[in-house]
Structure 1
C-alpha cells in the first residue's frame, strides 16, 4: 500500500471519467427520482480528475450532497468519528509496520533465496522466483504495492541482467505483487470486513486458496512466455539439499506467517493481537537475528507507516460520510430496483458488478472503492443469497485488477519505477498476466463453494 497523494489521471482520461460519472449518476437519478446522485457523482469524479486528492474529492462531493439534501454539515465529523472508532482498525497500521520491518530487516531476501532454490532452475526461473517470493511475502505484508516493491526491487534488476525484456520483468513483479492484497493478512480484506461486519478470520481463510491458485496460474503464464522467448533457465536438476539449506537459513522468515496466521486460526489471539505479534516478531528478527534493521531503516519503517495510515484515515473519514449519504439518498434500494429483473440470475449480477468494479478501479484507489461501492452493492448481494465472504474475495480480486490497469495502477507505477521504464510500456507488458485474474473472476462467479471450504471447515457453515 502506498500513500494516496492524488489521482494520477491523465488529461486524456478526464472526459472518459466524467462521462462515466454522469452516466452512473443519471441512471441512479432516474431510479431514485432525486438529483443528489448526479451531483455527487459528477463533483466527485471531476474534482479527482483535475488532481484533487481522493479523500478531499470525496469530502467535497459529500458536502455538495449534504447541501442538496439539507442535512447538517456535522454529519461529516460524526461519520469520521464512527469510521475511526472500530478497534479492529488498529490492525491495518500494525500490519503495515510489520511488513515494513520484515522487508527492511532482510526477510524478503531470504524468501527470494528460498524461491530461487525451489523453481529458479527452470525456464523463466527468475520470473517464477518472483511469483513464488511474492506469494511468501504476501503472507507478511498485507499490501499489494508493498509486496511489489519488496520483491521487485530484488528480482527485477536480476531479470533484466539475465535478458528479460524490462516491461515483462516489471509486469511479473506488478502482477504477482497484487497477491499481497489477497493472501492473508490482507489490508483490503480488513477494510471490507470493517464496512460489512463480516468476520475477518473467515475472510482471511477464504483468501488462502484463491491466492495460491492465482499464483500458480501466474506461474504457468510466466513459464509459457519465458519458453517462447528463451528467458532464463540454467537446466540444472532440482535438488532437495540446496532447498532445505535455504529453508533453514530463512526459517525465521518462513515462520512469520505460520505464527501470525496460525495463532489467529487456532484462537490464540485475535487479528488485532496478531498484528501486534507480527510487529514484535519483525522487530526482534530484524534487529537480533538477521541484523538487517538499522536505526535509519527503523525510522523509515515508522515514517512510511505514519504516512500510509494518515492517508487511510483521511480516506476512511471522508468516504464514510460519502457512504452514509449514499444510504440517505436510498441509492442501495435504487440499485435493487435496477437489478430487479435479474434476481433469478445472480451470476449475471456478479459479472455486471465485476465489470463495473474493474472500470472504476482504473481511476479510483482501492480503499475508497471498497468503502463507497460496498455500501451500494452489499445489500443487493445479500438479498440474492450470495455468501458475503465470497463477495469479499470477489471485491478484492477486482481491486487487484485495478492495481494492474492504468491510469491509477499503483502496482504498475511501483514496478515501472524499479524497471526504469514508462507506465505505457509496463501496461502493455502486463496484459498477458491479466488473463489469470479474469479466469479467477469467472471461477468466483460460477463456482464459489471452493472459496468458503476452508472457513466452513474451521468455523462451520455460515448461516445466510
Structure 2
C-alpha cells in the first residue's frame, strides 16, 4: 500500500467526530424528532473512519439522509446537475490547463530567474527566491500544489546543494506554494464563489493584497531562519542591470498575469473568458516563443488536467448534494441559533469558525471542506454583518493551513516527494512558516476593511 493510500485510510477520524458531534448537538437541541441529521452524522463518521474516500462518504451519508427523511433519491442527480451547471465552473479546468502549459513550456524557469536576480544575493537568497517565484507563478496557476511542484522542483534541489537543511527547503516551497490558492486566479476562490454567488472578480481583487502581504511575511521568516543558520547569500550588491535583463528574457511569463487579470478588471473579458485566454497564451508562448512544449509535454498537461477536473467534479457532485441536504434539514438555522448569544461578538464567532476550519482542514480536502461547511456557516456570518468577500478570503486562508498540516497536507506531500524526505520531517520544518498564516487570520478577524479596499475601489461597496 502506498503512503497516500495509507494516509487516506487513516484520514477522516477527527473531523468526522467533530462534525458528527456538532450535528448531534444541534439536532438534539434544536431539531428534536428529526432523524435525518443524526443518521447523516453517524454514517459520515463511520464511513470516513474506516477509510472511505470523502466523496463516497458524503454520497453515502446523503443517501442515508434521503432515505430516512423519505426524500426522493433523484435529489442526488439534481444536486450534481446544479453543481455542474454554473458556467463559471469551466474556469477551473482551463486555469489548471493554463498553469500546466506555462509550467511545461518553461515559464516557471523564467520566473525563478527573475526572482534570483531580485533577492538571490541576500542571506537565504534561494529561500527568498522560492517565495517570490511562487508569488509570480501563483498568478498563473490558481493552485497551491501546482505552484509548489512547479517552483519547488527547480529551487528545492538548488537549496539542498547550497547547504539548506532538506526539511527547511521543502517547507519553504510548500508554504510559499500555498499562495497559489490566494493570489488570483484561485481555484478555491472560484469554488467559494460558486457556492455563495459572491462575485468572482471581487474575490480575485480581494485576494491580491493578502497574498502579497503573506508572501512578504514568509520572506521575513525565511530570512530570519537563514541568518540564524547561515544559509546561502553571495554578499553581492543588488544591481538593476541583471534584473532588467532577466525581466526582458522573461517578459512573456511576466505578461501572463498582466493580460489575464488586467483583462478581467478592465472589463475586457469575464473570468471564464480569461481562463480561455490563459490557455491560448500559454500554448502560444510555450510552443512558439520559449519552445519548451513538446507533444509529450502537451499530452502530460492534458492528462493532468483531465485527472484533476475529474476528481473535482466527482467531489463537487457528491458534496453539493450533501450540503443541499444539510440546508433542507435546517442545520444552518440551528447553528445560527446556537451562536445567537454571541451576536455581539462577531470576532469571537470568526475565531471559533477559524479554529474549526483549521482542525477539519488537517483531515479534509479543501474543496469538500468549502462546499460542505460554507453551506453551514455562510448564513451565520452574513447575519452577523461580516462581509461575504472577507469570509471568502478567510475561508481560503484556513484551507491554506490545511495544505500545510498532516495527514492531508497536499503541499507537504508534493514538497516531500521532491525533497526525498518523510512527511514527518517536513511537517516539523514547516512549523515556523505557519506563523505568518496565523497572523493573517488574526488580521482578517480584527482588521478586515483593508481586504475589501481594492474591490470597493474598483466596483464600489457591496449592497
Verify same fold: TM over 0.5: yes
Q: How far off is 1:387 after superposition?
A: 0.5
Q: How far off is 1:221 after superposition?
A: 0.3
Q: How far off is 1:296 after superposition?
A: 0.4
Q: How far off is 1:50 after superposition?
A: 2.3
Q: Is the 8 A contact 2:148 2:177 kept in 1?
A: yes
Spell out, residue by residue over 1:45-96, the C-alpha distance to the aligned partner (whole angstroms, 9 max, x if none): 3322322222111101111111111111110001111111100010000000
User: How many aligned positions are there?
Assistant: 463
- Provide closer, same or farther for how the CA distance between residues 142 and 327 of structure 1 changes in structure 2, counting only shifts above 3 A: same
Q: Is the 8 A contact 1:130 1:151 kept in 2?
A: yes
Q: Is the 8 A contact 2:366 2:402 kept in 1?
A: yes
Distance in 2 separating the partners of 1:20 and 1:435 = 30
- Provide closer, same or farther for how the CA distance between residues 388 and 177 of structure 1 changes in structure 2, counting only shifts above 3 A: same
* SS at 1:344 equivalent: coil
Q: Is the 8 A contact 1:29 1:38 kept in 2?
A: no
- Provide closer, same or farther for how the CA distance between residues 4 and 24 of structure 1 changes in structure 2, counting only shifts above 3 A: farther
* SS at 2:164 equivalent: coil
Distance in 2 separating the partners of 1:18 and 1:341 = 21
Q: How far off is 1:397 after superposition?
A: 0.2
Distance in 1 separating the partners of 2:28 and 2:409 = 27
- Provide closer, same or farther for how the CA distance between residues 35 and 261 of structure 1 changes in structure 2, counting only shifts above 3 A: same
- Provide closer, same or farther for how the CA distance between residues 320 and 271 of structure 1 changes in structure 2, counting only shifts above 3 A: same
* SS at 1:4 equivalent: helix
Q: CA RMSD, aligned part only? A: 2.4
- Provide closer, same or farther for how the CA distance between residues 69 and 204 of structure 1 changes in structure 2, counting only shifts above 3 A: same
Distance in 1 separating the partners of 2:428 and 2:337 = 39
Q: Is the 8 A contact 1:9 1:363 kept in 2?
A: no
- Provide closer, same or farther for how the CA distance between residues 239 and 182 of structure 1 changes in structure 2, counting only shifts above 3 A: same
Report matched runs for 1:49-448 at 5 Å. Answer: 49-448=49-448
Spell out, residue by residue over 1:438-464, the C-alpha distance to the aligned partner (whole angstroms, 9 max, x if none): 000000000000000000000011x34
Q: How far off is 1:6 after superposition?
A: 9.6
Spell out, residue by residue over 1:322-367, the C-alpha distance to the aligned partner (whole angstroms, 9 max, x if none): 0110011100000000000000000000000000100110110000
- Provide closer, same or farther for how the CA distance between residues 225 and 346 of structure 1 changes in structure 2, counting only shifts above 3 A: same
Q: How far off is 1:37 after superposition?
A: 2.5
Distance in 2 separating the partners of 1:16 and 1:327 = 18
Spell out, residue by residue over 1:126-153, the C-alpha distance to the aligned partner (whole angstroms, 9 max, x if none): 0000000000000000000000000000
* SS at 2:5 equivalent: coil
Distance in 1 separating the partners of 2:69 and 2:150 = 46
Partner of 2:33: 33
Q: How far off is 1:2 after superposition?
A: 16
Q: Is the 8 A contact 2:95 2:141 kept in 1?
A: yes
Q: Is the 8 A contact 2:23 2:41 kept in 1?
A: no
Distance in 1 separating the partners of 2:283 and 2:85 = 27
- Provide closer, same or farther for how the CA distance between residues 320 and 213 of structure 1 changes in structure 2, counting only shifts above 3 A: same
When normalised by structure 1's length, the TM-score is 0.96
Which stretch has the larger CA shift, 43-52 or 102-111? 43-52
Distance in 2 separating the partners of 1:272 and 1:12 = 34
Q: How far off is 1:9 after superposition?
A: 5.0
Q: How far off is 1:31 after superposition?
A: 5.4
Distance in 2 separating the partners of 1:249 and 1:393 = 34
* SS at 1:254 equivalent: helix
- Provide closer, same or farther for how the CA distance between residues 268 and 322 of structure 1 changes in structure 2, counting only shifts above 3 A: same
Q: Is the 8 A contact 1:397 1:437 kept in 2?
A: yes
Which 5+ residue runs of structure 2 have no aligned equivalent?
none
Which stretch has the larger CA shift, 426-435 or 41-50? 41-50
Q: Is the 8 A contact 1:3 1:308 kept in 2?
A: no
Distance in 2 separating the partners of 1:230 and 1:194 = 46
Q: How far off is 1:34 after superposition?
A: 2.7
Q: Is the 8 A contact 2:19 2:41 kept in 1?
A: no
- Provide closer, same or farther for how the CA distance between residues 142 and 229 of structure 1 changes in structure 2, counting only shifts above 3 A: same
- Provide closer, same or farther for how the CA distance between residues 351 and 12 of structure 1 changes in structure 2, counting only shifts above 3 A: closer
Distance in 2 separating the partners of 1:2 and 1:393 = 34
Distance in 2 separating the partners of 1:177 and 1:407 = 18
Which stretch has the larger CA shift, 348-357 or 39-48? 39-48
Spell out, residue by residue over 1:215-246, the C-alpha distance to the aligned partner (whole angstroms, 9 max, x if none): 00000000000000111001010000000000
Which stretch has the larger CA shift, 5-14 or 440-449? 5-14
Distance in 2 separating the partners of 1:88 and 1:12 = 30
Q: How far off is 1:21 after superposition?
A: 5.1
Q: Is the 8 A contact 2:322 2:372 kept in 1?
A: yes
Distance in 2 separating the partners of 1:120 and 1:162 = 12
Q: How far off is 1:435 after superposition?
A: 0.3
- Provide closer, same or farther for how the CA distance between residues 226 and 251 of structure 1 changes in structure 2, counting only shifts above 3 A: same
